[in-house]
Amino acid sequence: MSLLAEFTPVYFMSPWKPFLVVAVFIAWAWLVGTKLDKDAAKFHLDPVKWNSYQLGGAGVALAAMLFIPNFYISFPIGSVILFTTTMIYWKYRNEEVPESEQFQLKADGLRARAEQRKAMKAGRSVTLKFDGAKGEAAVPDKTDEKLLAYLDAETLLSSALVNRATRLEIRLNSKGCQGVYFVDGIPSKTDVLSPKDGVAAVGFLKELAGTDPTDVRKKQHGTFSVIHEGGRTPVDLTASGSTGSHSLKIEFDREKQIRIPLDSTGLLPKQIEALEVYHQDVHRHGVILVGSAKQQGLTATCYSLVHSHDSYLNNIVALEKENTETLEGVTHQIVGEDGGDYPTNLQTVLRRDPEIILSADMDDGASASLAAKSGLDGPLIFVGMNASSFRDLVSKWASLVGEPREAFNSLQAITYQRLVRKVCENCRIAYKPSDDLAKQGLPIKEVEQLYRAGGQLQVKNKVVECPVCKGSGYLGQIGVFETMFLTKDIRKQLIAGDLKAAMALARREQKLVRLQDAGWAKVAAGTTTLEEFGRVAKSGQAKKKAKKK
């Protein structure tokens, strides 16, 4: 106590000494709070852990300044302790981040690294140009360190663009950075980048799209365009992640994928004719279930069904968790944008008394019950839901609503779809179907020929890759739809819990088109191949079995 009593008056009687202490801590707090915390988050270096280290160092530094008797000794020692953790972080992060992002003090080090990076990229030239939120991105000079990030972004995007990909998913973590792009639903991987190069490339793409590269946790959306040999491609970017990993979803020309006329979705003419009945005022009531597995075109089909109705003569509202595209004449409401959960927002929409509602991504019982209770005298409600099969879709709807009579009394129709690849017309190979196919139940007598995928052409006695489909044999995707339109008797079977009997009755009454029948129609028309529909059907069965397990 005597030591503290002697020390305290001496230390605080001089006004400039506490000022120096406070000033040093303010500078430290500013550096950690505004710079180092964001830096650690940006490069996935566990900011919570480093903030703990910084605070621990600050506590030790403050104790040294207070309890070492001589200010001229305590202050320098405390300052050194205070910034020691900062220096340790500096050294650690320089080992983890791209060279272009490292903290350096020496000019000769910068020049050496610039020469090294220039040597790394010798022989490579820029093949893509980018038009982002701030205008067209300038191509960095060969001596500019930003060139590496530019070229690495090209590495991630080039293969996807060349091969007509519709989607590219990039994942960055401590092990590296790699993209998976999808061409007609089939995934392929890009080259792997190191974690350091991946951080720079992902940061470049996020900044290009107008999002915050330093924020790795918040879900962000942005857009930019890629200018390449084939023209200009608009890009929608969605960024999300955590301190341990970072993900980008890049969609190429999303509007083209989403805005599909109803007669181009893959619905058969008789299916479209049955759905167009609900354009009439007297029938424009009740619920139509629209389902598919994930990434199987559900959003595009929901938009096409809704937009097939005249948006100028009808009040149409789309309730979505996330807006994918804005439809002309349709009011889009995002769940939670004005407060409230999905059921609250759906109740608000119902009170506005619209003629048509799209209730996308529905997955809760309260919302399903609200839609079902609207009844046959309420609006026409398209309910979009993910499901592994037609049966799973019906079962999921009944389970969400809870009461079978309530679930099926207002249900008008059910559609379920899967996507198949369209055979490339430039290289497809015609063949006469064998009698073995008839034994499998296929009506081969109805067609003279079927097609299989080619992928190659013969030009001047030389076999070459098809330039249209790039050798895959397929070009684009189209939906195959299973549909059932409900009558009074079919509803009775569903309310009784007998889906098998309901489907059998619907087939007898020609109210059911099975998935296999719709698929065969596409095969017979030469739109796809028997092998492709078999692949998709087998994939659907595998997912259904996995779900049961």
- Tell me what pLDDT residue 497 has: 92
- The Cα–Cα gap between 179 and 474 comes to 22
Which of the listed residues 188, 218, 252 is the one where a domain comes to its end? 252
Q: Which long-range contacts (CB under 8 A, 24 or more apart) does 540-549 make?
A: 540/293, 540/388, 540/389, 540/418, 543/293, 543/388, 544/388, 544/389, 544/392, 547/388, 547/392
8 A C-beta contact, residue 131 and residue 224: yes
Cα torsion for 310, 315, 321, 327, to the nearest 10°?
40
Q: Across all residues in the chain, what is the average pLDDT?
A: 86
Instruction: Kindly state whether residue 518 falls inside one of the protein's structural domains.
Output: yes
- Tell me what pLDDT residue 10 has: 41
The verdict on 137 and 45 lying in the same domain is: no
Instruction: Kindly state whether residue 435 falls inside one of the protein's structural domains.
Output: no
- Which two structure tokens, joined as six digits, stand for 12? 């605080």
**pLDDT, mean of residues 481-500:** 95
Q: How many domains, the chain?
A: 3
The verdict on 487 and 418 lying in the same domain is: yes
Per residue in 384-403, pLDDT (tens digit) is 999 999 999 999 999 999 99
Q: Is residue 115's pLDDT more than 70?
A: no
Least confident of 83-97, 126-140, 241-255, 355-369: 83-97
- Tell me what pLDDT residue 462 has: 86
- Tell me what pLDDT residue 54 has: 87
**pLDDT, mean of residues 252-272:** 94
Split at pLDDT 50, 70, 90, the class of 2 is very low
The verdict on 287 and 228 lying in the same domain is: no
**pLDDT, mean of residues 415-438:** 90
The verdict on 515 and 416 lying in the same domain is: yes
Q: Is residue 317's pLDDT more than 50?
A: yes
Q: What residues pair up with 231 in beta bridges, in sequence order?
A: 228
| Phi/psi of residue 374, nearest 5 degrees | -60, -25
Q: Is residue 114's pLDDT more than 70?
A: no
Instruction: Kindly state whether residue 116 falls inside one of the protein's structural domains.
Output: no
- Tell me what pLDDT residue 7 has: 42
Instruction: Kindly state whether residue 243 falls inside one of the protein's structural domains.
Output: yes
The verdict on 151 and 136 lying in the same domain is: yes
Q: Is residue 365's pLDDT more than 70?
A: yes
Instruction: Kindly state whether residue 374 falls inside one of the protein's structural domains.
Output: yes
- Tell me what pLDDT residue 22 has: 85
- Tell me what pLDDT residue 4 has: 41
- Tell me what pLDDT residue 141 has: 82
Instruction: Kindly state whether residue 338 falls inside one of the protein's structural domains.
Output: yes
- Which two structure tokens, joined as six digits, stand for 428? 């497809």
The verdict on 315 and 418 lying in the same domain is: yes
- CATH at 215: 3.30.450.90
Q: Is residue 76's pLDDT more than 70?
A: yes
- Tell me what pLDDT residue 50 has: 84
Instruction: Kindly state whether residue 454 falls inside one of the protein's structural domains.
Output: no
- Tell me what pLDDT residue 110 has: 45
Which of the listed residues 208, 224, 252 is the one where a domain comes to its end? 252
204: containing domain: 125-252
Number of Cβ within a 10 Å radius of residue 158: 17
The verdict on 22 and 89 lying in the same domain is: yes
- The Cα–Cα gap between 72 and 229 comes to 67
Q: Is residue 216's pLDDT more than 60?
A: yes
The verdict on 196 and 326 lying in the same domain is: no
The verdict on 271 and 361 lying in the same domain is: yes
The verdict on 273 and 244 lying in the same domain is: no
Eight-class DSSP state of 68: S
- The percentage of residues in the chain with a pLDDT greater than 90, rounded to a whole number, is 54
Instruction: Kindly state whether residue 396 falls inside one of the protein's structural domains.
Output: yes
Q: Is residue 380's pLDDT more than 60?
A: yes
Q: Is residue 162's pLDDT more than 70?
A: yes
- The percentage of residues in the chain with a pLDDT greater than 70, rounded to a whole number, is 89
Split at pLDDT 50, 70, 90, the class of 531 is very high
- CATH at 335: 3.40.50.300
Which of the listed residues 96, 113, 141 is the one where a domain comes to its end? 96
Split at pLDDT 50, 70, 90, the class of 316 is very high
> What predicted TM-score, i.e. pTM, was given to this entire model?
0.74
- Tell me what pLDDT residue 333 has: 92
The verdict on 11 and 66 lying in the same domain is: yes
**pLDDT, mean of residues 194-209:** 92
8 A C-beta contact, residue 342 and residue 362: yes
8 A C-beta contact, residue 355 and residue 315: yes
**pLDDT, mean of residues 92-102:** 66
Q: Is residue 544's pLDDT more than 80?
A: no
**pLDDT, mean of residues 349-363:** 93
The verdict on 157 and 291 lying in the same domain is: no
- Tell me what pLDDT residue 67 has: 85
Q: Is residue 109's pLDDT more than 70?
A: no
- Tell me what pLDDT residue 374 has: 86
